[in-house]
């Protein structure tokens, strides 16, 4: 389950430590939902009481930089989720506003190059929000 993430770490010359492996195992449970980084910090500090906040946050930042995690800023802090698809790193999401479930959108509907001639676009994010099919069905049943 975490083999692709471990390979990505190795290819970027990171050591595979017990703490990093444990963090990846925990994070791999968040493929369809975002988790606040403070929750990750709490989890890691329960398992490894001597681990510093700085170490946890640095690993989260490094995991995000190399594509293991996807990040999202929210009013209550930064949230992350485990990469949906290591074979297609560029993708977008639909996020249910009720249950928080994240669904991958594999196609990219954005083409800015025509509007920005001469510019070099390095990254963009596109996210749809609404109700997933399950939550939409539940809301219809209560109306």
- Point out the annotated binding site for Zn(2+): 96, 99, 132, 135
Scanning the structure block, which residue is given the tokens 């791999």?
28
Sign of torsion over alpha carbons 93, 91, 34, 125: negative
Query: What is the per-residue DSSP string for 77-121?
Result: EEEEEE-S-TT--S-EEEEETTT--EEEE-S-----TTTSTT---
- Show binding-site residues for Fe cation: 90, 124
Gyration radius of the chain's alpha carbons: 17
**Which residue intervals of 18-85 are DSSP H helices?**
18-27, 37-47, 53-66
């Amino acid at each position: 389950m975490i083999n692709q993430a471990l390979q990505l770490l190795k290819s970027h010359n990171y050591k595979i430590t017990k703490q990093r492996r444990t963090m990846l195992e925990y994070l791999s449970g968040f493929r369809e939902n975002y988790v606040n980084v403070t929750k990750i910090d709490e989890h890691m500090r329960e398992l490894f009481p001597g681990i510093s906040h700085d170490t946890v946050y640095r690993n989260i930042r490094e995991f995000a930089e190399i594509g293991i995690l996807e990040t999202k800023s929210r009013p209550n802090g930064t949230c992350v989720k485990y990469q949906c698809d290591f074979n297609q790193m560029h993708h977008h999401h639909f996020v249910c506003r009720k249950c928080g479930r994240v669904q991958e959108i594999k196609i990219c509907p954005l083409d800015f190059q025509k509007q920005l001639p001469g510019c070099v676009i390095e990254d963009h994010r596109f996210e749809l929000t609404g109700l997933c099919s399950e939550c939409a069905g539940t809301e219809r049943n209560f109306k």
